[in-house]
């Protein structure tokens, strides 16, 4: 694997490997062939890796959703201890992979992130609020990572937000690689201001107040307070209203340099985006053009205008 590329954990069946209980796969070409151009996948099939064969008996979660057991559907065999014993070792191996996120398999009793069916001991109606046994272990061990499942990633807004969080985590790690210095923290925050505004204006302001004290001692402790707030801010999905606010804010940087026609064109495109007539990529593309044309160095450094590779075309659909 390329040391400079992002690494993401993923349910192995989503890459086309026939490892499911019935010998099939759940290939997701958008993940494998699209996002896969820019990341190194770290595939895991917990059921196979913990020693279960292919094909095999289907399993399900039973009991308390907070601590379910993994049980064979037909035989009632309890695989919980087997998977947990394997899982503890596998988690330590994953800790050395430098993961920036993880994509789980929707609904899987081992690899489902959320809304997994959990059957009751008394045979009553199942609940739908569980997490797969392995997925729960991963999320508990790596709470700072962005997580999603292939089902939720079919939603364009959720997909765009997940990729934004993944690439932001990569940039954060790069920024802190030389130490959590005041300069590194201020530079990171400055470049991410508009991106933060698009997710949460309130947390953008709170993070700004935090960074304002970065000149004194204790930068490492400050970074430790900054990162959880960063994660929290990015957990909020951007909306059309939030994006429109940021676009209008950026437009203000050009009020003295744009011609009347250019200003009118930009205003119309932002309005068309707000009305749902064009996707976000349209006004952002024009803004990037003006950034280059008029030499706006501050805006050129803003992650909001290029948060991930353009080839992913995520803003074509939001």
Indicate the number of domains in the chain: 2
Whole-number pLDDT of residue 245: 98
Whole-number pLDDT of residue 204: 98
Q: How far apart are CA 83 and CA 87, in angstroms?
A: 6
Do 15 and 138 lie in a common domain? yes
Whole-number pLDDT of residue 214: 82
1 belongs to a structural domain: no
Nearest CA to 20 out of 51, 58, 74, 62 is that of: 58
For residue 180, the enclosing domain spans: 156-318
Q: What is the pLDDT of residues 191-215, one digit of tens each?
A: 999 999 999 999 999 999 999 988 7
Q: How far apart are CA 197 and CA 250, in angstroms?
A: 11
Query: Domain ends where: 154, 170, 190?
Result: 154
Rg, the chain, Cα only: 22
3 state SS of 11: strand
Whole-number pLDDT of residue 72: 98
Give residues with Cβ within 8 angstroms of 60, minimum separation 6: 70, 71, 73, 109, 117, 119
Do 170 and 315 lie in a common domain? yes
Nearest CA to 7 out of 59, 42, 54 is that of: 42
Q: How far apart are CA 10 and CA 31, in angstroms?
A: 10
136 belongs to a structural domain: yes
Q: What is the pLDDT of residues 254-266, one digit of tens each?
A: 999 999 999 999 9
Q: Mean pLDDT of all residues in the chain?
A: 96
Among residues of the chain, what percentage have pLDDT more than 70?
98
Which pLDDT band, with edges at 50, 70 and 90, does 227 fall under?
Answer: very high
Across 162-179, average pLDDT:
97
Do 82 and 206 lie in a common domain? no
Q: Is the pLDDT of residue 96 over 80?
A: yes
Whole-number pLDDT of residue 1: 39
**CA 120 from chain center: how many Å?**
32
Do 111 and 171 lie in a common domain? no
227 belongs to a structural domain: yes
3 state SS of 129: strand
Q: What is this structure's pTM?
A: 0.95
Q: What is the pLDDT of residues 267-312, one digit of tens each?
A: 999 999 999 999 999 999 999 999 999 999 999 999 999 999 999 9
Q: Is the pLDDT of residue 83 over 90?
A: yes
Do 168 and 305 lie in a common domain? yes
């Amino acid at each position: 694997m390329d040391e400079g590329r992002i690494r993401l954990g993923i349910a192995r069946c989503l890459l086309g490997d026939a490892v499911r209980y019935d010998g099939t796969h759940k290939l997701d070409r958008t993940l494998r062939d699209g996002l896969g151009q820019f990341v190194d996948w770290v595939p895991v099939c917990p059921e196979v890796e913990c020693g279960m064969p292919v094909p095999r008996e289907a399993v399900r979660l039973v009991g308390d959703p907070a601590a379910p057991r993994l049980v064979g559907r037909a035989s009632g065999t309890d695989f919980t201890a087997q998977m947990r014993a394997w899982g503890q070792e596998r988690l330590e191996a994953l800790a050395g992979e430098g993961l920036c996120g993880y994509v789980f398999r929707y609904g899987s009793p081992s690899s489902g992130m959320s809304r997994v069916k959990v059957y009751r001991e008394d045979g009553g109606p199942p609940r739908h609020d569980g997490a797969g046994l392995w997925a729960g272990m991963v999320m508990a061990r790596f709470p700072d990572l962005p997580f999603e499942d292939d089902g939720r990633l079919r939603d364009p807004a959720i997909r765009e937000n997940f990729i934004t969080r993944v690439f932001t985590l990569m940039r954060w790690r790069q920024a802190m690689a030389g130490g959590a210095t005041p300069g590194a923290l201020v530079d990171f925050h400055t470049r991410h201001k508009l991106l933060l505004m698009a997710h949460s204006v309130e947390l953008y302001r709170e993070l700004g107040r935090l960074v304002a004290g970065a000149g004194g001692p204790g930068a490492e402790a400050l970074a430790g307070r900054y990162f959880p707030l960063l994660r929290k801010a990015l957990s909020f999905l951007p909306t059309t209203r939030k994006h429109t606010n940021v676009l209008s804010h950026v437009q203000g940087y050009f009020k003295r340099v744009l011609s009347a026609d250019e200003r009118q064109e930009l205003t119309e495109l932002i309005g068309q985006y707000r009305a749902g007539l064009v996707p976000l990529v349209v006004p952002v593309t024009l803004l990037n053009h003006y950034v280059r044309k008029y030499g706006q160095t501050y805006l050129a450094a803003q992650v909001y205008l290029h948060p991930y590779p353009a080839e992913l075309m995520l803003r074509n659909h939001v």
